[in-house]
Amino acid sequence: MWENCKNEQAHIVAMRRELHKIPELGFDLPKTKKFVLEELDRLGVEYKCSEVDSSIVATICGTGEGKTIAFRADMDALPIIEANEVEYISQHKGKMHGCGHDAHTAMLLATAKVLTENKDKFSGKIKLFFQTGEEIARGAEVMIKDGALDGVDAIFGLHIGSIMGKEISSGKAVIVPGCVMASYDKFVIKVTGKGCHGSTPEKGVDPINIASHIVVNLQAVLAREIATTKPSVLTFGKVTGGDVYNVIPNEVEMEGTIRALDEEVRQFLARRIDEIAKSTAETFGGTCEVEIIWGAPPVVNDEEMALIAADAASVAIGEDMVIRKVETPNMGGEDFACYLQKVPGAFFFLSSADSSKGTDVPHHNPKFNIDEDVLYKGPAIFTSIAMKLLGNEK
C-alpha cells in the first residue's frame, strides 16, 4: 500500500503550495479547515469537526475489528513576514508557514487517500488528527479534551525540515526511542521599583538594575544547581523598560523560555525562577511578579512504538534512509508530547534540508522552505506503520 504514495507526489506538492498561500494562526483556521474538509469530502472520508476550534478528526475503518491508531498533522502558521521569492508565497500579510505545517497537512491528506483506497488491506480504525494551535502549545490539549484520543491504542506524528540538524540529508527519517524533544515553557517577570531622574538614582529603586541581577542570578541555576548530564536551557528573549535615556523607570518586564529533557528539571527551573527573581528584587528594595505560562512537556517516544515506526519506515523508504539513533535530543518543543503522555506512540522527523535548494534554513525563519521532492515519504511511512500494526497480512 505504501508504494502508492509516490504516485501522490505531485498532488501533495500542489496541496502544500495551496496551503502555504493561506497561513492562519492559533485556533481559528477557517480557510485551512475549508481546504481540508473539501479534500476529505472528495475522498469520502468521515470526519468530525471540533466545536471549540478548527480541528478535525477523520476516521477510516478497515474490513474488521481491530485496534485504533492515530496519525497527526498540525495546521497553524507563524506571525512572520515571508521573505521567500516563490509563486506560492503567503497571501496573508504578516503570517507564514515557517515551520512546515502546510506540508504536514498535505502529507496527512495524501495518507487519507491511500488508506481509503486500501481499506480491504487492514482491520481496525485509523484516526487522522488535523490539529490547530501547535505553535502556541495548546492545540493538542484541545483535541484531548474533545475526546480525540478516546479508544486510540497508539499515535504517530512527524515533523519535516532540519530540526535534527541540517547535516542530515534530505529524505532521511530520524526515528528514535525515548526523549526526542525538550519541554518548552514561557516565563514573564515584572519588576517594580520606584522611578526617578537618572541624575539622582539614590531617590528611587532602579528596576533595570534589579532586572540585570535577575538575569545573571538565574544563569547560575544552570551552571551550579542542575547536573551537566541533564541538558536544560533558560533564555531571556525580551526585556522592556523605560522611555528616555536619563530617567529611571518604575517597571521592567522580561520574558523568556525554559527547556528541559526531564520533567523534574522542568519543574525545578520554574520554581527557582520564582524564588530567585522575587528574592533578588527584595534585596534591592523592589518587588516582582512571576508568571509561568506552561507549554508542553518533553516529547518521549515509547520504545516499542518507535521501533515499529522505524521498521515500517525502513520498508517504505529503505533502511539506509532511516536514522535510529542520535547523540542528543532536540531542545525545541512540540505539543505532540501531550498525546504521548496519554497513549504510547512515536514522533519522528523527515529531513528536507538540502543546501543546493536553499532548504537548510532553520525553522521559524522568513526564508524557511522545504525540499518538496521528499513529501511522498511522509505518507509512505504512515501507511507502512498502519500496515505493520493493522495489516491483514502480517
4 pLDDT tier (thresholds 50, 70, 90): confident
89 pLDDT tier (thresholds 50, 70, 90): very high
Please say which residue of 260, 281, 296 terminates a domain.
Answer: 296
pLDDT at 394 over 70: no
Give the span between the Cα atoms of 154 and 343, in whole angstroms.
6
Please say which residue of 242, 269, 296 terminates a domain.
Answer: 296
φ/ψ of residue 379, rounded to 5: -60, -35
Q: What angle do CA 383, 15, 172 make, to 5 degrees?
A: 50
Q: Are residues 174 and 203 in the same domain?
A: no
101 pLDDT tier (thresholds 50, 70, 90): very high
Q: Are residues 22 and 164 in the same domain?
A: yes
pLDDT of residue 2: 67
Q: Are residues 87 and 207 in the same domain?
A: no
Q: Are residues 98 and 35 in the same domain?
A: yes
β-partners of residue 127 are: 59, 70
Tell me the pLDDT tens digit for each residue of 286-317.
999 999 999 999 999 999 999 999 999 999 99
Q: Are residues 358 and 380 in the same domain?
A: yes
Q: Helix axis angle, 9-21 relative to 101-117, nearest 10°?
A: 140
Average pLDDT over residues 73-92: 97
Give the span between the Cα atoms of 188 and 238, in whole angstroms.
9
β-partners of residue 174 are: 323, 349
% the chain with pLDDT above 70 = 99
Structural domain of 253:
183-296
Average pLDDT over residues 47-60: 98
CATH code, 313: 3.40.630.10
pLDDT at 164 over 90: no
* 3-state per-residue secondary structure call for the chain: CHHHHHHHHHHHHHHHHHHHHCCCCCCCCHHHHHHHHHHHHHHCCEEEECCCCCCEEEEEECCCCCCEEEEEEECCCECCCCCCCCCCCCCCCCCECCCCHHHHHHHHHHHHHHHHHCHHHECCEEEEEEECCCCCCCHHHHHHHCCCCCCCCEEEEEEEECCCCCCCCCCCEECCCEEEECEEEEEEEEEECECEECCCHHHCECHHHHHHHHHHHHHHHHHHCCCCCCCEEEEEEEEEECCCCCEECCEEEEEEEEEECCHHHHHHHHHHHHHHHHHHHHHCCCEEEEEEEEEECCEEECHHHHHHHHHHHHHHHCHHHEECCCCCCECCCCCCHHHHCCCCEEEEEEECCCHHHCCCCCCCCCCCCCCHHHCCHHHHHHHHHHHHHHECCC
Q: Are residues 124 and 204 in the same domain?
A: no
Q: Are residues 93 and 153 in the same domain?
A: yes
Tell me the pLDDT tens digit for each residue of 356-368.
999 999 999 999 9
Please say which residue of 241, 275, 296 terminates a domain.
Answer: 296
CB 246 within 8 A of CB 288: no
Instruction: Calculate Rg over the CA atoms of the chain.
Output: 23
Domain count, the chain: 2
Q: Are residues 258 and 306 in the same domain?
A: no
Give the span between the Cα atoms of 69 and 312, in whole angstroms.
14
Q: Are residues 84 and 24 in the same domain?
A: yes
pLDDT at 278 over 90: yes
Q: Are residues 120 and 191 in the same domain?
A: no
Q: What's the pTM value of the predicted model, to 2 decimals?
A: 0.94
pLDDT of residue 327: 87
Q: Are residues 190 and 161 in the same domain?
A: no
pLDDT at 353 over 60: yes
Q: Are residues 7 and 142 in the same domain?
A: yes
Locate 29 and state its grid cell.
483556521
CATH code, 284: 3.30.70.360
